[in-house]
């Protein structure tokens, strides 16, 4: 059933689903997008999911959807929901199975012209140095206590062992360590699934790309970004460890649900009070998975730097391979935001949405005080990716959140019907994009046709004031699991 | 991504669902039936049992490196399942044809019996 009839236009980029649109809604739904995106979200049932999230106990202000909204499992992808930290709930489904799935961008001082002749060698070396795809093991063999150290201390644990740089930590959300982690709340199964996966890319939409900055705006210089610069983007998450944490706690909360008496429109939205034992345990385990995810991306960064060092015959520091920033786009965070004119302690769920804070927030490192927090937006394989920064307006409108990517426009199955992996590889190669992929069927699932136009999504985010554009990158070489 | 599996009993629906899930990741024809392993899962009711059963298999694949080509349920109730999984050690080069499955979800989950015919529907996070 179409929900477009019950939606009100607020301005060119904002649409509201009033709380009387469906019984059980506690707050309105707010979708950032244009008419075309809205119609698409309606067709794939994602608007109904915005309404379902508006029924979560303790939700405040609105159930929000970013312009890359699409149908998810329970929560829509691109969904943001804040609940009261004292009287609201935490929902593992509102974080997702890939806890702290995220993106980072590693800069270099190389220009495309300087690097062009060696990019094939670089991607080939990366392809054998960074494990990817199902069933491949990471290069680190870890004991449980080492995994526990990563879960408790985050990326600093890895840096202490000589993997990654100290200064990387400041360029990660929470300085690379999410507070409140308690490995005792993570099951043996979760540890067993993740133990051999530190520094592995995974599969699905995860990738590693060598890109060139092809447009750099006025803020770019402050972030050390310039036109023609070669950069490396990494998209991966908490691997099997995070997937198992989510699986485990959906069961824990499902068992506890009758006790709390919540009536939910979708079983995948299962939740428990933030202040309950189940809620606190989940948050402690989620923090472990988030820290593990940052370690995973930090280890991949280490292999990337090593590969560049070998190919270019110079140290990674000399090659300017600093981490610009690392963002998580599947996470719940304890944050303070203004609600009804007063500061309120909230649990902000971002499911396929990125934190986009202005420089004034205490969570943002000093070095980004003037620009705002960098936001890394991966596009799809054939098109552009972006660096954005957070804004004050995002704080007012979306609890300081923006989009996380292009957002699927087509299911994986539909994409595979439309595009053959081999054809896609040829098409990209003919445009000068080198491709290294584990299996071609999965590769076709990630075809550019399967995604919304990322430029359009980014424009809408800018139009709505949720983030500002800094730079645009196009892919030179793509590696997928 | 999801699957719909049928069977003439709850056991058969569980076996077929598991096989369907494996076929999204691996080429079942290329998996040799070399070894058997005991599998067990518990749930709060039938549908949560189905999620636990598939989660247990994913765990065995990812943490223990199994590639399963078939399953045989030996005991099943609304809250517990015991079974055999048959296959060999996972060889990414030889077996893998698709993306990793992160988890079976509760979204649009269904397990139904109508006139002796069982149908299961599961959406996976990929």
What is the overall mean pLDDT for chain A?
A: 94
Q: Which of A65, A43, A53, A68 is nearest to A19 (CA)?
A: A53
Least confident of A108-112, A264-268, A425-429, B18-22: A425-429
Confidence of residue A423 (pLDDT cuts 50, 70, 90): confident
Q: How far apart are CA A148 and CA A244, in angstroms?
A: 15
For residue A243, give how far its alpha carbon lies from the nearest alpha carbon of chain B (Å).
6
Q: Is A10 on the interface with B (CB under 8 A)?
A: no
Domain span at A382: 4-409+451-480
At A184-199, the pLDDT tens digits run 999 999 999 999 999 9
Domain assignment present for A149: yes
Q: How large is the ipTM?
A: 0.95
Q: How far apart are CA A172 and CA A112, in angstroms?
A: 26
**pLDDT of A46 strictly over 90:** yes
Q: How far apart are CA A253 and CA A273, in angstroms?
A: 10
Write down the pLDDT at residue A6. 87
**pLDDT of A406 strictly over 70:** yes
Please tell me whether residue A328 adopts helix, strand or coil conformation: strand
Q: How far apart are CA A121 and CA A118, in angstroms?
A: 5
What residues in B contact A268, CB-CB < 8 Å?
Answer: 105-107
A112, A337, A404, A439: which one is catalytic?
A404
At A4-44, the pLDDT tens digits run 888 999 999 999 999 999 999 999 999 999 998 899 999 98
Q: How far apart are CA A49 and CA A89, in angstroms?
A: 17
**Minimal-distance CA residue of chain A relative to B92:** A135
Positive/negative CA dihedral, B90, A208, A372, A329: negative
Confidence of residue A424 (pLDDT cuts 50, 70, 90): confident
**Helix (H) or strand (E) segment spanning residue A79:** strand A77-84
Q: Is A371 on the interface with B (CB under 8 A)?
A: no
> Region A65-83: what's the mean pLDDT?
95
Whether A297 and A158 have beta carbons less than 8 Å apart is answered as no
Q: Is A246 on the interface with B (CB under 8 A)?
A: yes
Q: How far apart are CA A175 and CA A106, in angstroms?
A: 16
Q: How far apart are CA A154 and CA A97, in angstroms?
A: 19
Q: How far apart are CA A332 and CA A286, in angstroms?
A: 8
> Region A66-88: what's the mean pLDDT?
95
**pLDDT of B92 strictly over 70:** yes
Q: Contact B100/A134, CB-based, under 8 Å? A: yes
- Helices marked H in A321-480: 392-398, 412-418, 421-430, 440-445, 454-463
Task: Count structural domains, chain B.
Answer: 1
Max Cα distance, chain B (Å): 43
How far lies A229's CA from each of A105, A110, A239, A465, in Å?
Answer: 12, 6, 30, 27
DSSP assigned state of A393: H
Chain A residues 62-121 within an 8 A CB cutoff of chain B: 73-74, 93, 96-98
Q: Contact A268/B105, CB-based, under 8 Å? A: yes
- Beta-ladder partners of B2: B123
Residue that wins the pLDDT comparison between A423 and A189: A189
Whether A174 and A363 have beta carbons less than 8 Å apart is answered as yes
How many CA within 13 A on the CB side of residue A405? Answer: 29
Write down the pLDDT at residue A294. 98
Tell me which residue in B1, B44, B99 faces A203 most closely, judged by beta carbons.
B99
Domain assignment present for A145: yes
At A256-302, the pLDDT tens digits run 999 999 989 999 999 999 999 999 999 999 999 999 999 999 999 99
> Region A393-418: what's the mean pLDDT?
86
* % of chain A at pLDDT higher than 90: 83
Q: Is B98 on the interface with A (CB under 8 A)?
A: yes
> Region A430-459: what's the mean pLDDT?
83
A16 CB neighbour count, 10 Å cutoff: 16
Residue that wins the pLDDT comparison between A424 and A49: A49
Q: How far apart are CA A432 and CA A438, in angstroms?
A: 20
Q: Give the tokens for residue A320.
A: 């300017």
Residue that wins the pLDDT comparison between A1 and A128: A128
- Beta-ladder partners of A30: A16, A64
Confidence of residue A205 (pLDDT cuts 50, 70, 90): confident
What residues in A contact B98, CB-CB < 8 Å?
Answer: 134, 439, 441-442
**Minimal-distance CA residue of chain B relative to A93:** B105
**pLDDT of B13 strictly over 90:** yes
A161 CB neighbour count, 10 Å cutoff: 12
**pLDDT of A446 strictly over 80:** no
Tell me which residue in B26, B62, B107 faces A74 most closely, judged by beta carbons.
B107
Confidence of residue B66 (pLDDT cuts 50, 70, 90): very high
Reading phi first (left if > 0) and then psi (alpha if -120 to 50, else beta), residue A224 is in: left
At A336-392, the pLDDT tens digits run 999 999 999 999 999 999 999 999 999 999 999 999 999 999 987 778 999 999 999
**pLDDT of A409 strictly over 80:** no
Write down the pLDDT at residue A379. 87
B23 CB neighbour count, 10 Å cutoff: 15
Q: Contact B59/A266, CB-based, under 8 Å? A: no
What residues in B contact A204, CB-CB < 8 Å?
Answer: 99-100, 102, 126
Task: Count structural domains, chain A.
Answer: 1
Q: Is B57 on the interface with A (CB under 8 A)?
A: no
Write down the pLDDT at residue A285. 98
A327 alpha-carbon distance from chain centroid: 6
- Domain with residue A9: its CATH number is 3.90.1860.10
Q: Is B25 on the interface with A (CB under 8 A)?
A: yes
**pLDDT of A468 strictly over 80:** yes
**pLDDT of A441 strictly over 70:** no
Q: Is B109 on the interface with A (CB under 8 A)?
A: yes
Domain span at B51: 2-125
Q: How far apart are CA A137 and CA A130, in angstroms?
A: 10
Q: Is B37 on the interface with A (CB under 8 A)?
A: no
Confidence of residue A413 (pLDDT cuts 50, 70, 90): confident
Q: How far apart are CA A292 and CA A146, in angstroms?
A: 11
What secondary structure, in 3-state letters, does A158-206 show? HHHCCCCCHHHHHHEHHHHCCCCCCHHHCCHHHHHHHCCCCCCCCCCCC
Least confident of A78-87, A170-179, A245-254, A419-428: A419-428
Residue that wins the pLDDT comparison between A432 and B32: B32
Q: Is B125 on the interface with A (CB under 8 A)?
A: yes
Global pTM reads 0.96
**pLDDT of A439 strictly over 90:** no
Q: Contact A266/B107, CB-based, under 8 Å? A: yes
> How many residues would you count in chain B?
126
Q: Contact A243/B97, CB-based, under 8 Å? A: no
For residue B96, give how far its alpha carbon lies from the nearest alpha carbon of chain A (Å).
7
**pLDDT of B44 strictly over 90:** yes
Whether B122 and B17 have beta carbons less than 8 Å apart is answered as yes
Straight-line distance from the first to the last Cα atom of chain A, in angstroms, rounded to the nearest whole number: 37
For residue B9, give how far its alpha carbon lies from the nearest alpha carbon of chain A (Å).
25
Q: Is B102 on the interface with A (CB under 8 A)?
A: yes
- Domain with residue B86: its CATH number is 3.55.10.10
Catalytic residue list contains A112: no
What residues in B contact A247, CB-CB < 8 Å?
Answer: 55, 103
A351 CB neighbour count, 10 Å cutoff: 28
- How many interface pairs between A and B have CB atoms less than 8 angstroms apart? 93
Q: How far apart are CA A171 and CA A389, in angstroms?
A: 13
Torsion of Cα atoms, A82 then A85 then A86 then A92, to 10°: 80
Q: Which of B112, B87, B106 is nearest to B30 (CA)?
A: B87
Got the DSSP string for B61-91?
HHHH-EEEEEEEEEEE-SSEEEEEEEEEE--
φ and ψ at residue A165, rounded to 5 degrees: -110, 145
Confidence of residue A416 (pLDDT cuts 50, 70, 90): confident
Write down the pLDDT at residue A330. 97
Residue that wins the pLDDT comparison between A77 and A136: A77
Q: How far apart are CA A277 and CA A259, in angstroms?
A: 12
What residues in B contact A442, CB-CB < 8 Å?
Answer: 98-99
């Amino acid at each position: 059933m179409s929900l477009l009839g019950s939606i009100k236009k607020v301005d060119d980029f904002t649409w509201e689903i009033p709380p009387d649109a469906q019984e059980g809604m506690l707050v309105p739904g707010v979708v950032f997008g244009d008419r075309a995106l809205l119609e698409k979200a309606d067709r794939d049932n994602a608007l109904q999911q915005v309404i379902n999230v508006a029924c979560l106990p303790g939700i405040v202000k609105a159930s929000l959807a970013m312009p890359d909204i699409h149908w998810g499992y329970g929560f829509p992808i691109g969904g943001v929901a804040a609940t009261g930290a004292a009287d609201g709930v935490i929902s593992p489904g509102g974080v997702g199975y890939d806890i702290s799935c995220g993106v980072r961008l590693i800069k270099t001082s190389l220009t495309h012209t300087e690097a062009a002749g060696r990019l094939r060698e670089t991607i080939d070396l990366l392809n054998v140095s960074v494990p990817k795809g199902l069933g491949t093991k990471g290069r680190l063999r870890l004991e449980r206590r080492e995994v526990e150290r990563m879960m408790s201390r985050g990326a600093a644990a890895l840096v202490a062992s000589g993997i990654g740089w100290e200064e990387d930590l400041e360029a990660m959300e929470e300085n690379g360590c999410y507070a409140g982690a308690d490995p005792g709340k993570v099951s043996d199964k979760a540890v067993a699934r993740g133990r051999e996966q530190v520094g592995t890319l995974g599969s699905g939409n995860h990738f590693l790309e060598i890109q060139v900055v092809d447009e750099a705006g006025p803020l770019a210089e402050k972030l050390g970004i310039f036109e023609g610069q070669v950069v490396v983007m990494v998209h991966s998450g908490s691997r099997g460890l995070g997937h198992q944490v989510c699986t485990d706690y959906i069961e824990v909360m499902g068992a506890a649900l009758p006790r709390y008496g919540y009536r939910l429109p979708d079983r995948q939205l299962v939740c428990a009070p933030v202040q309950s034992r189940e809620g606190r345990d989940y948050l402690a385990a989620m923090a472990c998975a988030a820290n593990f995810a940052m370690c995973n991306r930090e280890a991949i960064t280490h292999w990337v730097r090593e590969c560049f060092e070998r190919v270019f015959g110079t140290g990674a520091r000399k090659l300017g391979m600093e981490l610009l920033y690392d963002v998580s786009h599947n996470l719940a965070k304890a944050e303070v935001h203004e609600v009804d004119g007063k500061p309120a302690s909230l649990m902000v769920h971002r499911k396929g949405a990125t934190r986009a804070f202005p420089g004034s927030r205490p969570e943002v490192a000093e070095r980004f005080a003037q620009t705002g927090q960098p936001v890394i937006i991966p596009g799809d394989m054939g098109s552009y990716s972006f660096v954005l920064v957070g804004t004050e307006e995002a704080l007012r409108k979306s609890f300081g959140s923006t989009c996380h990517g292009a957002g699927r426009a087509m299911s994986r199955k539909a994409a595979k019907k439309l595009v053959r992996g081999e054809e896609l590889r040829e098409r990209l190669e003919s445009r000068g994009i080198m491709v290294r992929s584990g299996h071609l069927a999965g590769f076709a699932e990630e075809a550019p046709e399967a995604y919304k136009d990322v430029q359009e999504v980014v424009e809408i985010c800018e139009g709505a004031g949720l983030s500002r554009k800094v730079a645009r990158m196009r892919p030179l070489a793509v590696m997928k699991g | 991504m999801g699957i719909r599996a049928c069977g003439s009993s709850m056991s058969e629906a569980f076996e077929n669902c598991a096989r369907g899930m494996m076929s999204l990741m691996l080429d079942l024809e290329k998996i040799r039936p070399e070894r058997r392993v005991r599998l067990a899962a518990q749930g709060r009711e039938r549908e949560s049992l189905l999620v636990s059963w598939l989660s247990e298999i994913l765990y065995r694949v990812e943490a223990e490196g199994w590639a399963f080509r078939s399953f045989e349920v030996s005991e099943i109730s609304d809250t517990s399942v015991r079974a055999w999984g048959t296959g060999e050690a996972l060889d990414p080069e030889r077996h893998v044809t698709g993306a990793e499955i992160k988890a079976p979800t509760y979204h649009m989950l269904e397990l139904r019996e109508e006139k002796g015919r069982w149908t299961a529907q599961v959406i996976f996070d990929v």
